[in-house]
Chains A and B, each alone.
Chain A
């Protein structure tokens, strides 16, 4: 019933009041002419109210004449009558249409490309590869095939271990995971030596395969063979056997950082004066607004965008970029000895931490102050125990 009513509403209908002596005749003529009537009810002995479709109403005029009834329209209902009002306001309708089309078009285009999670592979490189695939700002969303993009990126960059491509609203989000490139491993079936990664003193040698050439307490240098893959036979006539040497060689290693102890320190501070430079952007086009010259000689800048965002997803491709300049002044400060040492020690230790490879255990740390001419230096030495074994293929035959 509801569907029929909806249908009538969409097509539009008229409520008419038919008066006359032979309203039945009017109804019969209408039925014979395939005009649909509904909700027919008698309101007074001489008049009947009924509903009739717009097309039916036009045809019903002759029926009324034939049956000598008077037809009066009580009200017009339905969508066509509502739309008729808007027919006069053509500009308004056009505006709605243009707006709808614009919104649709604007949201079916990729306005931003986000690349997340990359540290080894440069963002620019990925963007360039995307451009080669025909994906850039302004590409139609439908043309992006996420699976294909992910596959292509994986193939082109061996550093990537996983690529996720997602179109979210008007953004293309590319999340990548970078795998640590595995060290060159000699295949198990190839004979190899175990050599030293760096200088040190051997703490322990565990040779699982091959012949250990060093023992505890030996000083070794970088590149020295620790476990040989060539095993000489007891009886020389059998010759040597080549094996794939496997083993662990723990050694004491040293790392050292030398830093000058500063006498004074320059501190930059904001004066509190700031100055803004605003530009308007659309896509990649920037229009700087006239705002004069930067009045500061020493300054730091922060840049931020202000872009209208629809909901959480749709970022419109235009907005305002503000460069905010903060004036700075330099202040020199004399440091007392303790402060200066602390400063040097902190920076040296940070540097040291970056130098020590993963897996190495720091067993001792020494800090030394030495004087050279008029400058003073701080030396931080870390003593570590680490596995220094790496494989090296036995070349030649």
Chain B
């Protein structure tokens, strides 16, 4: 079971960016060029977040991740960050909710 959430949080920037226009023009997948966060959840155990802007809060029950379009809050149990780089975060644990705040 794999679902991809690519909903834009219309808070900071509602308009379509230049990058997205270019992507559309050359018929590239939108997520390649856009800086919108891409969240991928795998089986309620793993969450990949790409294009993040650092973490705001982290503990076993709650992880809040910043992004250019708002905050992504993940709640669950026994969560830990399996890997964190400037591009993506991999969170592992029993995930209950992924919320766009």
Contact = CB atoms under 8 A, between A and B. Distances in A.
A28 B58 CA distance: 11
B80 A40 contact: yes
Contacts of A32: 54, 86
B99 interface: no
Contact of B56 (A24, A34, A37): A24
Interface string B57-100: 11110000000000000000000111111100000000000000
B55 interface: yes
Contacts of A40: 58, 80-81, 84
A48 B86 contact: no
Contacts of B83: 36-38
Nearest to B56: A24
Which of B55, B56, B60, B84 lies at the interface centre, i.e. has the most chain A CB atoms within 10 A of its CB? B84
A40 B59 CA distance: 10
B45 to A, nearest CB: 14
A37 B91 CA distance: 12
B82 A39 contact: yes
Nearest to A30: B84
B60 A41 contact: yes
A38 B82 contact: yes
A36 B85 contact: yes
Nearest to B83: A38
A391 B60 CA distance: 105
B60 A28 contact: no
A42 B86 contact: no
Contact of A31 (B56, B57, B84): B84
Nearest to B54: A28
Interface residues of A, number: 18
A48 B63 CA distance: 13
A41 B77 CA distance: 12
B58 A27 contact: yes
Nearest to B80: A41
A38 B58 contact: no
B59 A42 contact: yes
A239 interface: no
B85 A28 contact: no
Contacts of B80: 39-42
A38 B80 CA distance: 9
Given A28-B55, A31-B54, A37 B81 contact: yes
Contact of B84 (A37, A41, A42): A37
Which of A24, A34, A37 lies at the interface centre, i.e. has the most chain B CB atoms within 10 A of its CB? A24
A366 B18 CA distance: 120
A50 B83 CA distance: 10
A271 B54 CA distance: 98
Contacts of A45: 59
A38 B84 CA distance: 6
Nearest to B91: A40
A30 B43 CA distance: 29
A23 interface: yes
Interface string A46-67: 0010100000000000000000
A244 to B, nearest CB: 90
Interface string A13-37: 0000000000110011011101011
Contacts of B56: 24
Nearest to A33: B86
Contacts of B60: 41-42
Nearest to B57: A24
Given A42-B58, A42-B59, A42-B60, A27 B82 contact: no
A31 B59 CA distance: 18
Given A37-B81, A39-B81, 6 more contacts: A24-B55, A27-B81, A30-B84, A31-B85, A34-B85, A40-B81
Interface of A: 23-24, 27-28, 30-32, 34, 36-42, 45, 48, 50
7 contacts: A28-B55, A34-B85, A38-B83, A40-B81, A41-B60, A41-B81, A42-B80
Query: 6 shortest A-B CB distances, which residue pairs?
Result: A40-B81, A41-B80, A28-B54, A38-B83, A42-B59, A31-B86
